[in-house]
Structure 1
């Protein structure tokens, strides 16, 4: 991405979102979010445009407004993604850390006004690194809990050869990483590196294993 001339003010995208249940909550409403972001843009001299997802849950990242914003940022069409509250983007540590990693790789900044997260400043960069470390720690805990649960079942004489259902946390991690554009081999390698067992209790993840989880979740979504 080519550096922007120094005389040009940074271009920011203000992302706002409410779910259906939050529509009547003035603290989380679209107008309140816009006002907070606009005030920050005025204070810092950003040029600003808004992108919104109205009536959409924050559980997953495949929201049309957010995906459009991320595509613009990745392509160099904007420098900053600003939100009034971090949970407007993601309610998951894994998803949030994935966005921070994506911003670092693609060269744009994430700013969350309620969280003190501002990747364009040294202090904000420190906060982002803390979030990434927390996410890594959480992934390792998931892997250890899975191992402990399998060991307990084996000790109790439970046969583990039959397919087991993956924990929801592992499924959500796979969905989040895929929505961030990570390839099947990359996701498989990360799961294996973190010691997370497959649905059959194995230690080795393959791209086909990840695809099977995604296909199963897609089928569940169609049935629901």
Structure 2
């Protein structure tokens, strides 16, 4: 029998309103699962936004899914609405790439994305293509801005194109893996560096340092109201 991870999420504001949305999400997933003959293993993040994939229960779900297919006890992840999983097209695209690499399904009921079906795969591929197009456009604009700044004698640091989903996955792996094992796992999952190269232990260390520095700055900014 197919077993899917049913992922539920509410933000702090939604949680303050008596957990608004959890029951509706669960009911929607249960109806979909019943129609497809699925069993559901529930994971719930309460009081957390979808700005980042660094959520305890989501990371636990992804870790469970990353087990090799023959040893895995679940077949994919299902959400009632895409924004419960991610509000970022790039992050969602990253999740789809992980799913494709590890052969598990992603289902967002509200958008008709169900990669266990041919139609759902088509919808997912369109979304990934749009995400890639958006990334290339942003890259072109960034490159043009840097060239303009260079002509004006200004110095601009390199802007990382590493998807947030990849950064979140790297940090999650580093919580339990060595640098070398983290690099190996990222490569096994089909994730690349910002320059589309394979990971090495040294590269993981450098990116991890930048990510943690950036998060410390972001955290300090929020605390001071900046």
TM-score, with structure 1 as normaliser: 0.77
2:83 to 63, 87, 100: 87
| Structure-1 residue corresponding to 2:7 | 15
**Structure with greater Cα Rg:** 1
CA distance in 2, matches of 1:27, 1:130: 33
Quick one: structure 1 residues 174 and 108, their matched pair in 2 at CA, closer, same or farther if it must change by over 3 Å?
closer
Secondary structure in structure 1 of the residue aligned to 2:8: strand
Q: Tell me the residue number matched to 2:112.
A: 116
Q: 1:213 aligns with which of 210, 214, 224?
A: 210
In 2: Cα distance, 1:28 partner to 1:139 partner: 34
User: Which residue is equivalent to 1:134?
Assistant: 130
Matched, 1:43 2:35: yes
Cα distance in 2 between the residues matched to 1:136 and 1:28: 34
Aligned position for 1:99: 95
SS at match of 1:94: helix
| CA–CA distance in structure 2, aligned partners of residues 54 and 27 of structure 1 | 8
Listed one character per residue, the Cα deviations across residues 1-57 of structure 1 (whole Å, up to 9, x for unaligned) are xxxxxxxx2001110001012236799610110000011111111111211000001
Distance in 1 (alpha carbons) for counterparts of 2:133 and 2:113: 19
Partner of 1:145: 141
- Match in the other structure for 2:58: 66
The 5 A counterparts of 1:185-224 are 186-190=192-196, 207=203, 210-221=207-218, 223=220, 224=223
- The structure with more helix, counted as a fraction of residues: 2
- Count the aligned residue pairs: 195
* Residue ranges of structure 2 left out of the alignment (5+ in a row): 171-181
TM-score by length of 2: 0.76
In the alignment, the residues of structure 2 paired with residue 86 and residue 138 of structure 1 have an alpha-carbon distance, to the nearest angstrom, of: 18
Structure 1 gaps of 5+ residues are 1-8, 192-205
After superposition, the C-alpha distances for 1:141-198 in whole angstroms (9 at most, x for unaligned) are 111011111222234x2322xx5484xxx57x4432122348489313328xxxxxxx
Matched, 1:54 2:46: yes
2:153 is matched with which residue?
158
In angstroms, what is the RMSD of aligned CA positions? 2.7
1: CA distance, partners of 2:79 / 2:17: 17
- SS of equivalent residue, structure 1 residue 14: strand
Contact map agreement 1:188 1:210 (CA 8 A) in 2: no
